Copies of this chain bind each other. A is one copy, B any other.
């Protein structure tokens, strides 16, 4: 097995690059961290190219690491270079971004969560995890939404990215294709003229759009939805956190 000890090694530099948007575009690969996510990627037969781990992590997981995948041992110091967490978990995987991860709206069955310019990686990751738990089929990352390969997004998805379908897409196109197929698409609005979410029963196939943390959904999307939903706010809070609102709505719509 190859062992790398220098933080200046060209492979280390490449792996660091795989935590950035530019690196994802250049190499069509991304980096995942921690046994929870690495293990889930292997279980889900994701296209893992390389497994990277400290000696300690290699020992701990040797029985679960397939021989067919390249393994490289690194030092704790290199592990620190590959993450922005305070205590790196010492195990990483390089995963290929394949064309197969792109889903066309026309073939999309089931419940889909559409993200319109969501910024906060923690919110995005939590929504993916919740969509998984609520039985959603997939999540569409619309333009302006933080990347699904962003390390913080990956961390907070906690492996759910391997249980549901994630894809990038043009939300207008998704919305129109759904509606042509007679599948409803629900928007969300902080507006009492919208429909109370408790009065909606969705079928098996539908879309739910969540909008930007500060600005909400884009107005041009809002006018095209089947219906826009609101969650009645009783107290004095100005709004709900977008991931909380998404959770309440997903468990209401997909019963």
Contacts and interface: CB of A to CB of B under 8 A. Distances in A.
Interface of A: 122, 126, 129-136, 158-160, 163-164, 198, 231, 233-241, 243-245, 247-248, 251, 254-255
22 contacts: A126-B241, A129-B240, A130-B241, A131-B235, A132-B236, A133-B231, A133-B239, A133-B240, A134-B235, A135-B234, A136-B235, A160-B236, A163-B236, A164-B235, A198-B255, A231-B251, A234-B254, A240-B247, A241-B243, A243-B244, A244-B244, A248-B251
Nearest to A198: B255
Q: Interface centre among A231, A238, A239, A254, by most B CB within 10 Å?
A: A238
B133 A233 contact: yes
A238 to B, nearest CB: 8
B160 A235 contact: yes
A244 B158 contact: no
A163 B235 CA distance: 7
Number of copies of chain A assembled together:
2
A248 B158 CA distance: 20
A-B CB proximity, top 3 nearest: A135-B234, A163-B236, A133-B237
A198 B237 CA distance: 25
Contact of A234 (B133, B238, B240): B133
Contact of A248 (B132, B234, B238, B247): B247
Given A133-B239, A159-B238, A248-B248, 15 more contacts: A122-B122, A130-B237, A132-B235, A132-B236, A132-B237, A133-B231, A133-B237, A133-B240, A134-B235, A158-B237, A160-B235, A160-B237, A234-B254, A243-B243, A245-B247
A235 B251 CA distance: 12
A241 to B, nearest CB: 5
Contacts of A129: 237, 240-241
A136 to B, nearest CB: 7
A32 to B, nearest CB: 17
Q: Interface centre among A135, A163, A234, A237, by most B CB within 10 Å?
A: A237
